[in-house]
Structure 1
Amino acid sequence: FLIQSTCPPVNENLMDLLVMVDSVKRASASRITAVIPYFGYARQDRKSHPRDPISAKLVANLLSIAGIDRLLTIDLHSGQIQGFFDVPVDNLSASMILGKYTLEKNLKNPIAVAPDVGGVKKVREFSDFIGTQFVVLNKHRPADNVAEVTDIIGDVKGKTAVMFDDMIDTGGTIVAGAEALLKGGAIEVLACCTHPVLSGNAVEKIAFSSLKELVTTNTIQLEPRKAIPKIRVLSIAPLLGEAIKKIHLGESVSDLFVKSHARR
């Protein structure tokens, strides 16, 4: 089991992983499982413009050619990336980790929030786990890395809104979303995400926003300067550890994909 997140510096970390795979393959390892908590290049899973590369497929090819027999990852940006591989892919979800933390906070009238229509499936899993309904933000991007929320599909009046997404990059969406939700009547706004990319001045945006808290995981190690009071980091080690144990023993990992729990 080779554990390596392909977070920045992405190319360097990816190359390190490929070299490690080649090394253990030449050392006659009987089985090689690449454990990639954060799969870099995941957002380049299709051609958005003519002559764009499909980098997620290229990375899948590189890992397969290097010699992996299985991939274990968490919350791929697009589920279809699993089809880029010719080996088994276990795409675990951090919904349970983030959901348990949310339940422990005993929030008043919580409601899950999808930051856009594309995030509905992931938010439905999260809302099922915490036993609540969800609403959707109608968002558009007038320019790159600029997000504007035009309206809220659903009612958030008197509720604690919990935005959920697989990753947060520039922070523009959650900051704009928090403002829109408060204007829509929410009493407070929190956000949860699996992968804290937090590029550019994202941390500063979050620090000075109306967002009460951002809860994330350590699929990407945060730099010391990003460790602000508003950001809470949860460990995905127990989830990965359990998956690794089950795979090693030849057991099913199906129970790690169960996301629907009644709210207690």
Structure 2
Amino acid sequence: MRVLNLSTGFNPFQSSIEEIESKSFLFSGGEVHIKLQGSADDVLISTRLNDSNDIMKLLLAVDALRRSGTKNISVFIPYLPYARQDRVMVAGEPLSIKVMCNLINSCGFEKVYVYDVHSEVSLALLENCELISNYSLVKEVLKDRTDYLLVSPDAGALKKIYKLAEALTYTDDIVLCNKVRDVSNGRIKQITVDQDDLQGKDCFIIDDICDGGATFVGVAKELKKRNAGKVSLIVSHGIMSHGETELVDWIDHIYTTDSIKDTQSALISRISLSDLIQL
């Protein structure tokens, strides 16, 4: 087997496996192009699909490999685009995750590895899909810590956190939060917490994605009202689309992976997926 890493600087399989080199560029009309420096019977592709060019580059790479005689191709897509667009809210909108999965399925992959995907709808739509959980990330962050609390930021995260707590042999209470949105504008009106006194314990909010971070800021505010110690966030995919300005006032630290980007800061630690996964 050989590895083809399509995203510059992203190599989640740092090992003795030989890598296929590639070059890509844009034609004058804006079309992305790729040229591979070799092939193999079995190839594992890794890629961050951060924009449409990345998606097209993956499709082109698969075609180039097939034309070079590659028989078996698998792919690791750590952050699956459109996983949050898993339903049609109003007439006239697409079912975006189905469109994305249809594109990936068209490649005929032997395996499609995804990391802590947002929606189970994705798993139903992707063929030959294998989900990698966030267990190793959370275990790495908490390995030297004692007397802490796990926090579920909303109902959507609850099922995953119960499974995670069982895998970690965590025996303390899980702090359950919930949010109420204003249906007219989507903004969070209220966040509830099921405990009144957190006894100064450090709290770790766990979820799959941090985009703007409004939910986590709201949860952190409520936790600190209830005598929480430090409030940290463990998220598999750190988008941080609004930067750190609001987060830094309420979140003591953020632990995430390099599934989307590499940037680190005093607030954000990105743990390499090469240290967390083994396929």
- Do these two structures clear the TM 0.5 threshold for a shared fold by scoring above it? yes
Return closer, same or farther for 1:165/1:65 CA change in 2, 3 Å cut-off. same
Aligned partners of 2:149 and 2:173 also within 8 Å: yes
Q: Which has the higher contact order (CA 8 A, sep 6+)?
A: 1
CA distance in 2, matches of 1:127, 1:144: 34
2:65 is aligned with 1:6: no
> Which residue pairs with 1:77 in the alignment?
118
> Which residue pairs with 1:135 in the alignment?
175
CA distance in 1, matches of 2:86, 2:217: 26
Aligned partners of 2:114 and 2:131 also within 8 Å: yes
CA distance in 2, matches of 1:37, 1:130: 26
Question: Structure 2 counterpart of 1:178, which letter?
Answer: A
> Which residue pairs with 2:161 in the alignment?
123
CA distance in 1, matches of 2:262, 2:247: 14
Q: Deviations over 1:32-90 (max 9, x none)?
A: 101101111111111122222111111111112133222011011012311112x3111
* Identical-residue share of aligned pairs (%): 25
Pick from 156, 166, 179: which aligns with 2:208?
166
2:182 is aligned with 1:113: no
Q: Deviations over 1:165-221 (max 9, x none)?
A: 00000011111111100102212211100000111x2422112x2211111111111
- More deviation, 169-178/65-74: 65-74
Aligned partners of 1:189 and 1:213 also within 8 Å: yes
TM-score by length of 1: 0.81
Q: Which has the higher helix share?
A: 1
Gaps of 5+ in 1: 244-264
Within a 5 Å distance, the mapping from 1:1-264 to structure 2 comes to 1-7=44-50, 10-85=51-126, 87-104=127-144, 106-107=145-146, 109-128=147-166, 129=168, 131=170, 132-142=172-182, 146-154=187-195, 156-158=197-199, 159-199=201-241, 201-207=242-248, 209-223=249-263, 227-240=264-277, 242-243=278-279
> Which residue pairs with 1:257 in the alignment?
none
**Runs of 4+ off more than 6 Å:** none
Aligned residues: 232
Aligned partners of 1:171 and 1:202 also within 8 Å: no
CA distance in 2, matches of 1:221, 1:179: 27
Return closer, same or farther for 1:237/1:204 CA change in 2, 3 Å cut-off. same
